[in-house]
Amino acid sequence: MTAFNDIDARELSLSEVMRKYPDVSPFVIIKADVQRRGVRFSEAALAHVDLAVHQVEYRGFSRETSGAIPVSLMMRDGTSILTGFTLENSGRPPYLVDVVEDRIVLTDQGTVVEEVDYWEKPDYYSKETSNHIPMWQIALARPQRIDLYPFQYCEFWNTPGHGCKYCSVAATYKKTGKPKYVDLTDIAETLAEALKQPGRYMSLFLTGGSILSGKELLDDEVDLYIKVLREAGKNFKSAKFPSQLIGTAYTKEQLLRLYENTGLSSYTADIEVLNKEKFDWICPGKAAKIGYEEWKDRLYQAVDIFGFGNVNTGIVGGVEMARPKGFTSEDEALDMTLTEAEELAKHGVFTVQCVWTVAEGSVFFNQKTPSLEYYVRLSCGLDRLCRKYHINTDMDNYRRCGNHPDTDLSRI
């Protein structure tokens, strides 16, 4: 008997979860399940990809024109499922995007689950910078957001054993051979070109790996984001503009420098897992350099600077159950996670989850994620906390991000 069948015997199926949770959007449930199990594309589905219209990515960020994979699926209600990955090792059969009666559909072991479409690419994707770099390699796009990644490595990996165990950034960096830093001129030209398309964007997003150097820890990282944000600010008339930075947990002084010297309007520092013991094990570099309680304190200080509803933190939903030191009970994992998330919410910091995908090259490769029901319960719990403490999730909602099942629920 296969591992798939063993797991199916213990877990509720997609349809069973939908019946058990009728008040939860079925689109959000589908999204969570596709993210945890992965997705493949049939030849017929790939034949429906129009490179002149759809947003795709290529393996290795080369300029090839074959092997294009759709970046995301869009369901009928506007819910996005980021699909720039193919999981074959999740311990469960991946979903298949196929074509039935000339419709692109999401299927689960031969059963049609939902009709889908591919994202349309923005205008700037077909252009190059003055350095002859394709602009889609400089800034990625979501339907209403521009994504910049100025530093494409993470220095926690420089110390053996200090990389986050769920993360594959070091393996990806070595595989692609990309430069660590993106040229500031390329960023400026790409951003200026992207903003020429009217009505396409409502937010600018920046993130990247941690840079540990500087007079004080993380000073060089903060300096880099200040440079990029000041360049971005040249495109806006207002002092502040709709923007989000996912960075490391900065000190109060570093946060003030960011806020006072740029147009940045919201801030995120992903704590990754809401439990000190699990944090110390899963994120050893973050634990050694900053620490769990200090990470939370820095988030609280950020609220004082950026304002209520403009600060959040992300978790890798389900990684708290990784083997061998994770929680062994979904009930216990959920209770501990939501208890910590409520403490954050009381201080004005809301928590969003990204569904854990067991990425190739990570320490946790080949592990199994929790059940679909767990992700539904986690999403509902996080959504309830935002409602209980009256925290607006607009800085990281389905329009600006689209990667969090819990903030998708805020639309209702």
Per-residue pLDDT reduced to its tens digit, 318-360: 999 999 999 999 999 999 999 999 999 999 999 999 999 888 8
| Res 195: pLDDT | 95
pTM summary value: 0.93
- The answer to whether 207 and 145 are in contact (CB under 8 A) is no
- The answer to whether 249 and 295 are in contact (CB under 8 A) is yes
Residues of the chain with CATH 3.20.20.70: 123-411
Strand intervals (E) in 5-138: 39-41, 56-57, 69-70, 72-75, 80-82, 95-100, 103-108, 111-118
- The 10s digit of each residue's pLDDT in 229-240 is 999 999 999 999
Q: Is residue 10 pLDDT above 90, yes or no? A: no
| Res 5: pLDDT | 38
| Res 82: pLDDT | 87
- Quick one: what percent of the chain has pLDDT higher than 90? 81
Q: Is residue 2 pLDDT above 50, yes or no? A: no
- The 10s digit of each residue's pLDDT in 370-381 is 999 999 999 999
- The answer to whether 223 and 217 are in contact (CB under 8 A) is no
**Rounded Cα–Cα distance for residues 313 and 301 (Å):** 13
| Res 84: pLDDT | 61
Parallel, antiparallel, or unpaired for β 203-207 and 145-148?
Answer: parallel
Q: Which residues contact 189 (CB under 8 A, 6 or more apart)?
A: 129, 130, 135
Q: Is residue 37 pLDDT above 80, yes or no? A: yes
Q: Which residue has the higher pLDDT, 241 or 2?
A: 241
Ranges 80-89, 166-175, 296-305, most confident = 296-305
Strand intervals (E) in 38-161: 39-41, 56-57, 69-70, 72-75, 80-82, 95-100, 103-108, 111-118, 139-142, 145-148
End-to-end, the C-alpha distance of the chain in Å comes to 41
| Res 175: pLDDT | 73
| Res 86: pLDDT | 55
| Lookup: tokens for 218 | 């993380």
| Res 66: pLDDT | 55
Across the chain, mean pLDDT equals: 92
Query: Residues 141-162: what's their mean pLDDT?
Result: 94
Query: Residues 269-292: what's their mean pLDDT?
Result: 98
- The 10s digit of each residue's pLDDT in 83-92 is 765 555 567 8
Which residues pair with residue 112 across a beta bridge? 107
The CATH number of 123-411, from 3.40.50.800, 3.40.50.1100, 3.30.9.30, 3.20.20.70, is: 3.20.20.70
- The 10s digit of each residue's pLDDT in 51-80 is 999 998 764 444 444 578 899 999 999 999
pLDDT tier for residue 3 given thresholds of 50, 70 and 90: very low
| Res 62: pLDDT | 42
